[in-house]
Amino acid sequence: MSVPDRLKADVQTADNSFPSVNKLRETQSFVIPVTYKLEWQDGFGARGWKLDCTLDDPNVIAATAETGSQISTSVLVHDMLDHYISGFLLSGHRNEAMALIQLASRTGSDPRPDYTQMVDEDLMQGSASGEQLRSFLPPDFLKCLPDDLMSGKQVISVLIDKLGRSVIRAALIDHFFELGERGIPLAQASWRRHGLDYQLRRQFGQCLQKLLTRVDNIVQERDCSYANGEFLLNNQFCQLHITTPYRHGLKEPVNGNHDSGPR
C-alpha cells in the first residue's frame, strides 16, 4: 500500500537518516516495546496496542489512541507513564491505586470514581486483584477478623457485620487514596532511575499521545493486522520506531506545542 503524501515525511528506512534502535539506545532513551494487533484473541476481540510486558496478562486489554471525555491521553499512555515508567505493574488493585494518583497529578483527573468502582465491584464482593484480600485491607480492619482462614467473601461478611457496609465502603475508598499517595515517592525514584524528568509527565503524556494518534492512523490506513515497535523516551524527544511489518519512524519534542495546563 502506498504511503499518503502527508505521511511521507514521517517514513524513514534503514537507508536514510532515521536512527536505528541501537543508535536511539545510545542516546540513553528509555525503551518501551509495544505490539499492535487488528484483533487480539483475548475474549474481547479488541483492536489496539499492548506493552510487550503485558502480552501474557489476560487482565490487560489492548488500547487505541482513543481518549476519554475528561482525559486527553489514552489508556496506553496511562500504562506507559503511570504504570510502567513509575514502576507499578499493570495488574492488581494496589498498583492501580498508585498509578491512578500518578494519572491524577499528571492530568488533573479525579481518581475517586475509579476507586469507588473497584471497591463496589471487587473488594466489597470479597475479591482483591494481585494479592489476598487480607493483605490489601487497612490494618485496623485486621483487628476485627479472627485468625481462622476465611475466603474473601467471608472476610467482607464479618467486617460488614461488625462495622457496617457504609463504614467499610468509605474506609476502603480512603485506603485507595492512602495507597496512591504512598506511591508518589516510589514513582519519583523510578523516573529518576530511568533518567526521565518527573516534572515533565504532562508534556510526556501529550507527546506520546501525538505519536500514538499518528501511528494508529497509519496502521489503519495500511490495513495492518499486526505491528511491532518501540517507544523511546528522553527528556528532549519521544520517538516511535516500528520494526515490523515495515520500518517506520515518528518523532515529537517533549516540550513542543502541547496544550498547557492539566488535561
154 versus 7: the higher-pLDDT residue is: 154
User: Per-residue pLDDT tens for 161-183?
Assistant: 999 999 999 999 999 999 999 99
Please provide the average confidence, as pLDDT, over all residues in the chain: 87
Peptide bond into 33 cis (omega under 30): no
**Residues forming a β-bridge with 37:** 48, 226
**pLDDT of res. 7:** 30
3-state secondary structure 77-89: HHHHHHHHHCCCC
**Residues forming a β-bridge with 49:** 36, 63
pLDDT band with cut points at 50, 70 and 90 for residue 27: low
pLDDT band with cut points at 50, 70 and 90 for residue 21: very low
Q: Could you give the percent of the chain with pLDDT greater than 90? A: 77
Separation between Cα atoms, residue 27 and residue 32, nearest integer Å? 15
96-124 average pLDDT score: 97
**pLDDT of res. 257:** 54
pLDDT band with cut points at 50, 70 and 90 for residue 11: very low
- CB neighbour class for 176 (10 Å; exposed up to 12, middle 13-18, buried from 19): buried
| Helices 93-107/112-121 angle, 10° precision | 160
**pLDDT of res. 183:** 98
CB distance 68 to 76 below 8 Å: no
Enter the pTM of the model. Answer: 0.85
CB distance 33 to 250 below 8 Å: no
C-alpha separations of 21 from 10, 45, 232, 248 in Å: 16, 31, 9, 11
76-105 average pLDDT score: 97
6 versus 112: the higher-pLDDT residue is: 112
User: Per-residue pLDDT tens for 221-241?
Assistant: 999 999 999 999 999 999 999
Return the amino acid letter for 120: D
pLDDT band with cut points at 50, 70 and 90 for residue 1: very low
Q: Which of the residue ranges 58-62, 187-191, 227-231, 254-258 would you say has the lowest mean pLDDT?
A: 254-258
